[in-house]
Structure 1
């Protein structure tokens, strides 16, 4: 039985403070959002937030959220029960939605792509039926792709549903959809990361603070592709009845990365998902040591301003995944003639085979995230 966990380790949080000097950092100012919105605000782009649903709350304009879909499985004793996508018992999906299209009122965050539309896809995350979210999420990904989503945000992880999720991601990509997934919040523990980020083409997102320093809680590894702000921010709390200040973690970071893609795609509607991903990677604020990428922040912090304001980044080939393995001409090794064959090289992600424990919306939920060595590593790092 798979267990679903949110990639958002926020703890209890604190009620939104009134004093300006205790407000969370203004990451939108750092990202030059006001200037960005003069070029593009996400208009014309639909971001599917496959999560715990959405609840109409102060700070999120109802016109920014589409009717959405629900893939929640009904209880056995109520097989005909239906669930509205515009309900959210935990607040996690509502927070991700606000990070993308919020209007900043009522204590909530101002969304990075306020002109975009969010398609809530409600799963059982945050409910007693959370064990079903892997399969539900896979179904939700397919439905989102079939119903006009250009970007899909996955701010959660699941182990036992990996193969279904991987297949669903492949289907979405065949429809031209760009998929982002949170890396997880176990950087300070066993550093197990979200298995979904191993799926080919998925953009794994880590969390940084306003100074572009990786958060200690942010899970990391070869699957980290980009990073975004995930420190103190307004999040839904108290069973989705209020806004609180807490670490948004990699969930929040993934939502901001999805919003960044919406801005770029809004400005360049003729680009493909591969081209949007490529320019985000090329223009990311890379590691401070000058290296091309690091396991902590990937290729760096998303900087849509570089694309929209500085006109940087080469979109390149429309049908080539920028994260695809690079072909090599390495000859096939000659089999050993000895009695014992040489031990096979360990898969790059196999060492992350440790239990994964994230705070899941107020309750600690443990999920086994043992990354078997037989799983295909997503891409070859250069």
Structure 2
């Protein structure tokens, strides 16, 4: 990764009208849990912006009583996500989109040789965040193998009124494997765009893409969390900005529910350039919290209705013969994918994890 002085990333905050938004709301009163690789205290993120948090890292077999601090991050990924949300812009760091919010770091084994345990740890961390005041949970990673543990954890958080954002993945230019967490109803799947609104080639995409965020060149932590550099942030960074967008909206409307915050972000999103309502690359479009805060756009609607749930229909239940005939069509609609585990700042070596083909039936949105 080049040094920060070698290049200058686009000022996406100006494009998003951040300065004007902060006069209305800056995220104050909202806690965003960043379930990731932890957080390292670095120049660019004020200590008062980051809560004590927790580490859910599994101890070594030979040291079952070993404890890990939440405020440590050997990889830098979690620290970058934190800065994208609440950074102060000093020392080469990005200025956070929701500087008044609080980040709750939840440290997993991401970025360590024990990364293969991160999925199960993340499930535990999601439950912790839901039980300890998080309004928003940011998941800038995915784990195929732990999905059966992650899904009920996410649903538990949602039952507590938490809004969950998950990165779609960075396999768009390869096998396009997408984050299975985005299959869970109500989870906001986030794709990545550049400063012109065009999707990044690397952005994984599919029916579960709901919103998009800036994910091109950004200030991120260099290798081994050694400083600030400039590199492509991918869908991880885009997800952090989507979480921050929700924090701004919720800060201005603290009486709204997660469904209402999600609904106005979807209604006010900058839709696909071809005028379509949505597409598989950017979903309903780039998150534009300024439309909610400055233009007063978006109807929060019903507090207990998932804005992504399919609209109810009055179609009668088909006869048994019709149901049987529909089965092959449903099977043909299943999308082939590959299990994946990724980070936008670099691949994690996960020993013993092979790639095997699997069929994933995608959740359809209205």
Distance 1:187 1:99, change over 3 A: same
Residue equivalent to 1:16: 4
Bigger relative contact order, structure 1 or 2 (CA pairs below 8 A, ≥6 apart)? 1
Q: Specify the alignment match of 2:196 in structure 1.
A: 211
1:372 aligns with 2:356: no
| CA deviation profile, 1:167-196 (whole Å, cap 9, x unmatched) | 011110111000000000011111111111
In structure 2, do the counterparts of structure 1 residues 359 and 164 end up closer, same or farther at CA, with 3 Å as the change threshold?
closer
CA separation of 1:360 and 1:301: change in aligned 2, threshold 3 A: closer
Identify which of 249, 270, 275 aligns with 2:255.
270
Select 1:236's aligned residue among 214, 218, 221.
221
1:363 Cα shift? 4.0
Give how far 1:332 is off: 2.4
State the TM-score, normalized to the length of structure 2: 0.95
2:365 matched residue in structure 1: 381
Q: SS of the counterpart of 1:252? A: helix
* Residue 173 of structure 1: aligned partner: 158
Matches within 5 A, 1:1-382: 13-17=1-5, 22-336=7-321, 343-346=327-330, 350-356=334-340, 358=342, 361-363=345-347, 365=349, 368=355, 370-373=357-360, 377-378=362-363, 380-382=364-366
Looking at structure 1, the residues matched to 64 and 136 of structure 2 have their Cα atoms a distance apart, in angstroms, of 31
Paired with 2:104 and 2:248, the residues of 1 have a C-alpha distance of 16
* Deviations, residues 307-355 of structure 1 (Å, cap 9, x unaligned): 0000000000001010112222222222339xx9664333687314235
**Mapped partners of 1:194, 1:285: distance in 2:** 23
Quote the Cα distance in structure 2 between the aligned partners of 1:118 and 1:369: 36
Aligned residues: 362
Gaps of 5+ in 2: none
Residues 283 and 361 (structure 1), Cα distance of their counterparts in 2 relative to 1, 3 Å cut: closer
CA RMSD of aligned residues (A): 1.9
Write 1 or 2 for the structure with the bigger share of helix: 2
SS at match of 2:210: strand
Distance between the aligned counterparts of 2:226 and 2:332, measured in 1? 43
TM-score calculated relative to the size of structure 1: 0.91
Q: What secondary structure does 1:213 align onto?
A: coil
